[in-house]
Amino acid sequence: MASALSAPHFHDEDAAFAYVEARVWPEGPTCPHCGGVERISKMQGKSTRKGLYKCYQCRKPFTVRMGTVFESSHVPLHIWLQAMYLVAGSKKGISSNQLARTLGLTVKTAWFLSHRIREAMRGGDLSLMGGEGGVVEVDETFIGNIPGAPVKQGGQHKMKVLALVHRESGQSRAFVVDKVDRESIIPIVMQNIDRETYVLTDEAGHYKGQLRDVFLGHGRVNHSAGEYVRGRIHTNTVEGYFSIFKRGMRGVYQWCAEKHLHRYLAEFDFRYSNRAALDCNDSERADRLLRGIVGKRLTYQTTCARA
Ligand SMILES: [Zn+2]
């Protein structure tokens, strides 16, 4: 079996452009300036930069990098594709230091690429989870200390994450929350889960009441009574999600600042929701990531670095 990284689009810049264009423009080139799809010509010639097209409707030049997370980056496209393949394929993530060493980039550039890749992984899926009598497990967890926060009982000094996992499709959606209480958690549950769903939580007080009346049903696992699995009433799936997330955050990313936590959650959500157990292999996952790049841009202000 050949190395996955031996494919031409990981080494050759022309092949990389062809690979990305075929996925971003399945119907042929589209002008990012005016949206035109007709009267577009590929610019040829030795001094022309790679992948350059000209739109004869608005008379402006463009490439497939324009309007995507690849824009305004000087990193060659085939290196981007290598980086995306590595990030998409590493179950617990890959640190910027590792990415820099593997790809021969500076740490600053690797960090910038990582952040942009995470941005492309952000779902933006506003549809409701569950429905049709399916099951969504809901749980929250504490991770890493908030820098500078005084250590208190009850975990106030830690970062807090709420996760929803749809058992039938295996899709996850995780959120950073300020507090673990009814006011912070219930609105997220209401806004993200279809009413025709069984919601499963633990016995924590903030889940009490209310959910039972809104959803098809609400099952609560009583962990304190040693009751972890009662038929289909368990939260093992969402706990499995947290376990991968924590191993990655502790082992690979050595935690992160709270302001970046939502990006890491997007990364773990993406890999979890497109995992091998759901018949998504590494190449397919990298391709799905590529589809996420369109229209996703990070500005200088939000990342404080430029590749
Ligand atoms: Zn145009």
| Tens-digit pLDDT profile for residues 62-84 | 999 987 888 867 899 999 999 99
CB 99 within 8 A of CB 307: no
Please tell me the distance between residue 35's alpha carbon and the centre of ligand 1 in angstroms. 6
Task: Place 301 in a pLDDT band, splitting at 50, 70 and 90.
Answer: very low
**Band of the pLDDT at 251, cuts 50, 70, 90?**
confident
| CA of 56 relative to ligand 1 center, distance in Å | 7
- 3-state secondary structure string across the chain: CCCHHHCHHHCCHHHHHHHHHHHHCCCCCCCCCCCCCCCEEECCCCCCCCCCEEECCCCCEECCCCCECCCCCCCCHHHHHHHHHHHHHCCCCCCHHHHHHHHCCCHHHHHHHHHHHHHHHCCCCCCCECCCCEEEEEEEEEEEECCCCCCCHHHCCEEEEEEEEECCCCCEEEEEECCCCHHHHHHHHHHHECCCEEEEEECCHHHCCCHHHHCCEEEEECHHHCCCCECCECCHHHHHHHHHHHHHHHHCCCCCCHHHHHHHHHHHHHHHHCCHHHCCCHHHHHHHHHHCCECCCCCHHHHCCCC
Ligand 1 centroid to Cα of residue 64, in Å, is: 13
Distance 49 CA to ligand 1 centre (A): 18
228 Cα to the center of ligand 1, angstroms? 59
- Taking the centre of ligand 1 as the mean of its atom positions, its distance from the CA of residue 302, in whole angstroms, is 29
Does residue 181 have a pLDDT over 50?
yes
Are 136 and 193 contacting, i.e. CB atoms less than 8 angstroms apart? yes
Distance 28 CA to ligand 1 centre (A): 14
**Residue 11: its pLDDT value, please?**
96
pLDDT at residue number 294? 61
Rounded CA-CA distance 102/86 in Å is 10
The predicted pLDDT at position 300 comes to 37
Residue 31 CA to ligand 1 centre (angstroms): 5
pLDDT of residue 14: 94
Mean pLDDT of 133-158: 85
Per-residue pLDDT band at 295 (split at 50, 70, 90): low
Distance from Cα 65 to the centre of ligand 1, integer Å: 15
3-33 tens-digit pLDDT: 888 999 999 999 999 999 998 888 999 998 9
Amino acid 1: pLDDT: 77
Mean pLDDT confidence for 57-64: 94
The mean per-residue pLDDT over the stretch 40-54 comes to 90
Whole-prediction pTM: 0.84
Report the separation in Å between the CA atom of 14 and the middle of ligand 1, taken as the mean of its atom positions: 23
* Whole-number pLDDT of residue 299: 41
Report the separation in Å between the CA atom of 235 and the middle of ligand 1, taken as the mean of its atom positions: 51
HSE of 24 in the Cβ direction (CA atoms, 13 Å)? 26
The per-residue pLDDT for 225 is 67
Question: How close is the Cα of 287 to the center of ligand 1, in Å?
Answer: 26
